[in-house]
Structure 1
Amino acid sequence: MTHSVVTADGLTEALNDLVDRVHGAEFAVVLSPDGLLLGASRGVHDELADQLSSLVAGLEALGSAATRVCVGGTLRQIVVQMARAFLFVATTRNGAILTVRIGADAEVGDMAYEVALFVGQAERHLPVYLAPASTVTTGEISAADRSR
């Protein structure tokens, strides 16, 4: 079995394609589960990437807390609706986090579809991040992990 090597160029191209497919999409980034930038579409400068890393880490933490409190299963997607934009944040099966910003006049349904499609095919472009051993063996988050 051969394994493809993840390249920054391949991920950048995939993110640019995602942004190009939906009218009104402005940028896309992919972060590792711990918030490190893995790739970005055109137009994402270093300062924006740093700000998004912090923002998305906070959103993911809130979303994960909501899944535990509300017993809702695993977190799949967060959508933030603002006056002039939407922010889609979706966790891939690989564990990476896709974030896409679209303008308020863009078709939200089209973007939701494209985000789901990208997430479903993420293993082509991204490394796999393993879950902590406590969640793998039991499927539950331990009390110690919840307190962090």
Structure 2
Amino acid sequence: MTSAVVTNDGLTSALDRLVDRVHGAEFAVVLSPDGLPLGGSRQVGAELVEQISGVVAGLIGLGLAATRVCEGGALRQVVVQMSRAFLFIATIPNGTILTVRIAGDDVEVGDMAYEVAMFVGQAERHLPIRLGPASSATIGDTGAQHRHR
């Protein structure tokens, strides 16, 4: 199964600017709540998008489980630190998911965290569609209301 990134000039340009602003940023992808690619920066190919969407789905699932068990509120971000790279996965209020990879020995993780937060805050201007929650178990749902009834 081959996935192609949906081309949307506004979203692609916004993702390109995000990647360009931070030294070491390699690519950025926006996925729908169910993991379908909505857009990507110029540095990401269809095969990588397909792989990233699977990884992100698993990490978001683990993050959602942690929010339910720990009752810590809505899932906002998952950061994976590797020996030579970081993967930032941030939830956007409309249900979409931003994923950015930054790599290198001299990267500024704080700069990327700031840029990711800024993108999330302004994402609705760049996204081609407005998505509603798919079910009662959305990204922001901690499950706490179901346990306390």
TM-score of the pair, normalised by structure 2: 0.84
CA distance, structure 2, for counterparts of residue 140 and residue 53 of structure 1: 22
1:112 aligns to what?
Answer: 113
2:3 aligns to what?
Answer: none
Alpha-carbon offset, residue 128 of structure 1: 2.4
- Stretches of structure 1 that go unaligned for 5 or more consecutive residues are 1-6, 144-148
1:73 aligns to what?
Answer: 73
Please give the root-mean-square deviation of Cα atoms over the aligned residues, in Å: 1.9
1:124 aligns to 2:117 (yes or no): no
CA distance, structure 2, for counterparts of residue 85 and residue 135 of structure 1: 31
1:1-148 equivalence runs, <5 A: 8-104=8-104, 105-126=106-127, 127-132=129-134, 134=136, 141=143
Paired residue type of 1:130? G
Is this contact kept in 2: 1:134–1:140, CA < 8 A? no
Cα 1:10–1:140, aligned 2, differ >3 Å: closer, same or farther? same
Paired residue type of 1:42? R
The sequence identity of aligned pairs, in percent, is 68
Is this contact kept in 1: 2:32–2:95, CA < 8 A? yes
- Stretches of structure 2 that go unaligned for 5 or more consecutive residues are 1-6
